[in-house]
């Protein structure tokens, strides 16, 4: 795939990203690698993987595109349940972003969502290169039982979590603060909840800051 990101026509630099300075945040290339149906297709090299997880339609694919200054590297959709496989992207030839299937969408048949849970848990459990999981929550919704299960898996397998609220452009600051408090209470005291909007670019520098701490370890 010719997905190099050096000022190609789909390069989409957000105004808030203009002052990125650290090397880790300079996106020289971002390429789709594989939509994996199972572990045999997961990349097996030693480069670090950062996964993005959360409910269907929460904005996982949009956040990845926004971080990479791309409009359509990762397909997004207003139809929840779009990402049903584990999608791997290689960034700067150095580390992977992994778009996990969204869970908890009512219109996706139960048999399909039941298959996602072991797929996601298996990936989390069996990927030693996994550096962190960005756990996304829609700023307008309370965490549900599957969000809680994901948080518990991450604790159980000792995987660092980066909690992120998405779609900050949709709520006012008082309502946003309530959700920030609620989500913050679910994580450890040292986990800072980041407020983001893929639409406006809000919070992307901060998220890169958190990812940078993991990636340079």
Ligand X SMILES: Nc1nc2c(ncn2[C@@H]2O[C@H](COP(=O)(O)OP(=O)(O)OP(=O)(O)O)[C@@H](O)[C@H]2O)c(=O)[nH]1
Residue 78 contact partner, candidates Mg ion, ligand X, none, CB within 5 to 8 A by sort of partner: ligand X
Residue 59 contact partner, candidates ligand X, Mg ion, none, CB within 5 to 8 A by sort of partner: ligand X
Whichever of 30 and 213 has its CB closer to ligand X, that residue is 30
In the bound complex, what is the minimum distance in angstroms from residue 65's beta carbon to ligand X? Answer: 8
Q: Do the bridges between strand 161-166 and strand 95-99 make them parallel or antiparallel, or are there none, so unpaired?
A: unpaired
Residue 179 contact partner, candidates ligand X, Mg ion, none, CB within 5 to 8 A by sort of partner: none
Which residues are near Mg ion by CB under 5 A?
60-61, 83
Residue 23 contact partner, candidates Mg ion, ligand X, none, CB within 5 to 8 A by sort of partner: none
Closest to 158 measured CA to CA, from 116, 188, 117, 193: 188
* Rounded Cα–Cα distance for residues 33 and 11 (Å): 19
Whichever of 183 and 189 has its CB closer to ligand X, that residue is 183
Whichever of 24 and 120 has its CB closer to Mg ion, that residue is 120
Q: What are phi and psi of 147, to 5 degrees?
A: -60, -45
Are 75 and 83 in contact by the 8 Å Cβ rule? The answer is: yes
How remote is the C-alpha of 207 from its chain's centroid?
A: 10
Whichever of 24 and 113 has its CB closer to Mg ion, that residue is 113
* Rounded Cα–Cα distance for residues 113 and 99 (Å): 16
Residue with tokens 């913050």: 184
Which residues are near ligand X by CB under 6 A?
56-62, 76-78, 80-83, 102, 166-167, 169-170, 197-199
């Amino acid at each position: 795939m010719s997905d190099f990101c050096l000022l190609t026509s789909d390069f989409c630099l957000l105004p808030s990203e203009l002052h990125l300075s650290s090397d880790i945040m300079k996106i020289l290339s971002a390429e789709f690698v594989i939509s994996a149906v199972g572990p045999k297709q997961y990349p097996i090299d030693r480069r670090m993987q950062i996964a993005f997880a959360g409910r269907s339609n929460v904005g996982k694919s949009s956040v990845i595109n926004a971080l990479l200054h791309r409009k359509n590297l990762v397909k997004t959709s207003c139809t929840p349940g779009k990402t049903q496989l584990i999608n791997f992207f290689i960034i700067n030839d150095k580390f992977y972003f992994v778009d996990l299937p969204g869970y908890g969408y009512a219109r996706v048949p139960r048999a399909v969502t039941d298959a996602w849970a072991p797929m996601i848990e298996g990936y989390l459990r069996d990927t030693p290169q996994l550096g962190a999981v960005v756990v996304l929550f829609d700023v307008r919704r309370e965490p549900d039982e599957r969000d809680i299960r994901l948080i518990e898996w991450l604790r159980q397998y000792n995987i660092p979590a980066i909690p992120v609220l998405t779609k900050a452009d949709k709520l006012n600051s008082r309502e946003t603060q309530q959700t920030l408090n609620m989500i913050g209470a679910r994580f450890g005291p040292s986990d800072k909840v980041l407020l983001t909007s893929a639409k406006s670019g809000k919070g992307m520098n901060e998220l890169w800051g958190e990812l940078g701490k993991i990636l340079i370890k």
